[in-house]
Structure 1
C-alpha cells in the first residue's frame, strides 16, 4: 500500500485554485437561474391555469426524478449541437452547465417558493382584492415581500447543494476543481491519488460549512416554512 504523501497533498492546491473560480462562477449563475425560474414556476402553478399547470407539474416531477448527470448529457449531446453549435466551445459548455444546474434546481426551488406563498395569510390576498390592487402589484407589493424572506434558508441550502454538484460538469470538460485535478494527474501512475482528492474534498468543506452556518443563522432570524 502506497504511503500517504503530504507533498502531493499540498502541491494539489494551486490546481484547485485554478478551478475554484470556475466552480463559483457556475454556482452563482446556476443559482440565479434557479431562483428566477423557480419563482416563475411557482407563480404560474399558483394561477392553476388548466393544461399549463398539469404540463408544468409533469415537467417538474420529471426533472426531479431523473439524475442531474443524465440531464447534463442530454443538453450537451442532444440539444447543444442544434441550438448552440455556432458558439465557441467554452461558451457552449457555460450555457449547458448553467442551464442544467439552473433548471434542475428551479424544479426544487419552485416548491420552496410555493410553500412560502401558501404560508402568506389569506387575509393578505383578501385585503389586496378589497383595495382593487392589480394582480402584478398584489404579487410584488404584498405577497412576495412576505413569502421570500421565509424561504431564504431553503434557497441557501440549495445553493450549497448546487456548489457541491458542479463537479458533475467535469463530464463535459468544464474546468472546475475536479477536472483540473484529474487532468494534472492523468499521466501519473494511478491518476490523482487520495491526497489530491482529499485536498479537493477539504476545499469543498472549507467553503460549504461556513455557508451552512450562515444559512442556519438566517433561518433563526427570519424563520422558515
Structure 2
C-alpha cells in the first residue's frame, strides 16, 4: 500500500533533486541555443563548415550517456559532475538546434538576401535585422521541443554522480525499500514541469509562427 507519511518525508529531498534538474536544463538549454546559432552561421563558411558538419554528425550519432561518461573521466578532478553535465548537454543539443536554425535560415526568401545586398547593408545588419528575426520565428516550436527533450534526458546524469531527481529517488527509495513510491513521484514531478512547458511552447507557436 502507498505510504503517504513516507511520501511527505522524502518529498523535500525529491524537490531538491528536481531543482537541480531544472537548473541544469535551463543553463544547458541556453548554451545550446547560443552555440547552435553560432554553429549554424559558421557552417556557411565553406571549409570551416565541412569540419563543423562532421563534428555535429559525430555528436548526434553517439549516445549522450557515453559522451557524459567520457568527458567526466577526462575532466580534471576539480570539475564537478554538474559542470560536466551542463557542458555536455549544451554541446550535445547544440548539434540539434544548429540544424533547426539552419532550416529556418534557409527558409528565408532569397529576395530578402538580395534586397540586403542591394541596399549594401553590413553583415551584422543583414543577420540581425532581416534574416534571424524571420528564421527564429519559424523554428520556435522545434526549439521548444528540444527543451522538453533535454529535461527528460537529465536523468542520464546519474552516470556521473549528479544528484538530480532520479538519483535522489533511487537513493531514498532504496534506503527504505519504497522504490514504487519513489519512481512514481519522479514521474509526477516530471509531468509538473513538462506539461506547463509544453503549454507555453504551444502558445508561443500560436503567437509568433502563425503571424
Query: Would the TM-score normalized by the shorter structure come out above 0.5?
Result: yes
Deviations 1:42-98 (CA, angstroms, capped at 9, x unpaired): 1011x2422x222211111111111111110011012x03xxx4x3xxx52232111
Displacement after TM superposition at 1:170 (Å): 1.8
Is the contact made by 1:12 and 1:199 (CA closer than 8 Å) also made in structure 2?
no
- Distance in structure 1 (CA, Å) of the matches to 2:199 and 2:175: 39
- Contact 1:27-1:166 within 8 A present in 2 as well: yes
Deviating beyond 4 angstroms after TM superposition, the runs of 4 or more aligned structure 1 residues are none
The counterpart of 1:71, out of the listed 56, 67, 72, is 67
**Gapped regions of structure 2 (runs ≥ 5):** none
Shift of 1:214: 1.6
| Alignment pair present for 1:25 and 2:23 | yes
* SS state at 1:185 partner: helix
- TM-score w.r.t. length of structure 2: 0.92
How many pairs were matched up?
A: 210
Please say if residues 60 and 96 of structure 2, whose CA atoms lie closer than 8 Å, have aligned partners that are also in contact: yes
Partner of 2:36: 38
Q: Which runs of 5+ in 1 are unaligned?
A: none
Q: CA deviation at 1:222?
A: 1.9
* CA-CA distance at 1:10 after TM superposition: 4.0
Deviations 1:13-51 (A, max 9, x none): 221111122111101110011001100111011x2422x
- For the aligned residue pairs, the C-alpha RMSD in angstroms reads 1.7
Query: In structure 1, which of residues 215, 220, 225 is the aligned counterpart of residue 201 of structure 2?
Result: 215
Query: Which structure carries more relative contact order (alpha carbon 8 Å, separation 6+)?
Result: 1
SS at match of 1:102: helix
Q: Distance in 2 between matches of 1:4 and 1:94?
A: 33
